[in-house]
């Protein structure tokens, strides 16, 4: 994983994070393919500024608006919020 992606997650205060094409290229091709096929793929455990503990973060793909974004599982069911659709 790119150090820039790790820094982006750890310094962000608001999630989900919509990814630009340049930022998306810093994530491995296999992870992008898995996210597009399944809907999400784990990037790792990170501790952003306003979080008390480490949390799993995922690269997600919204099939409705065709957007890649980074988010963590929300609620009991572990759903992800698309930044464009919500």
pLDDT in tens, 23-69: 999 999 999 999 999 999 999 999 999 999 999 999 999 999 999 99
E-assigned strand segments in 9-66: 17-18, 40-46, 55-62
pLDDT given for residue 54 in this prediction? 96
d(CA 31, CA 54): 21
pLDDT given for residue 17 in this prediction? 96
Q: Does residue 80 form part of some domain?
A: no
Using an 8 Å Cβ cutoff, are 29 and 51 in contact?
Answer: no
**What total of structural domains would you count in the chain?**
1
Q: Does residue 76 form part of some domain?
A: no
- Which residue range(s) make up the domain with 67? 3-71
Using an 8 Å Cβ cutoff, are 84 and 74 in contact?
Answer: no
Q: Does residue 81 form part of some domain?
A: no
Q: Does residue 18 form part of some domain?
A: yes
d(CA 60, CA 43): 10
């Amino acid at each position: 994983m790119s150090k820039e992606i790790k820094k982006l997650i750890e310094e962000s205060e608001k999630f989900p994070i919509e990814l630009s094409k340049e930022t998306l290229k810093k994530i491995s091709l296999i992870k992008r393919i898995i996210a597009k096929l399944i809907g999400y793929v784990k990037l790792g455990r990170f501790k952003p500024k306003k979080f008390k503990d480490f949390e799993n973060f995922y690269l997600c793909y919204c099939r409705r608006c065709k957007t890649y974004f980074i988010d963590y599982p929300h609620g009991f069911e572990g759903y992800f919020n698309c930044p464009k659709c919500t």
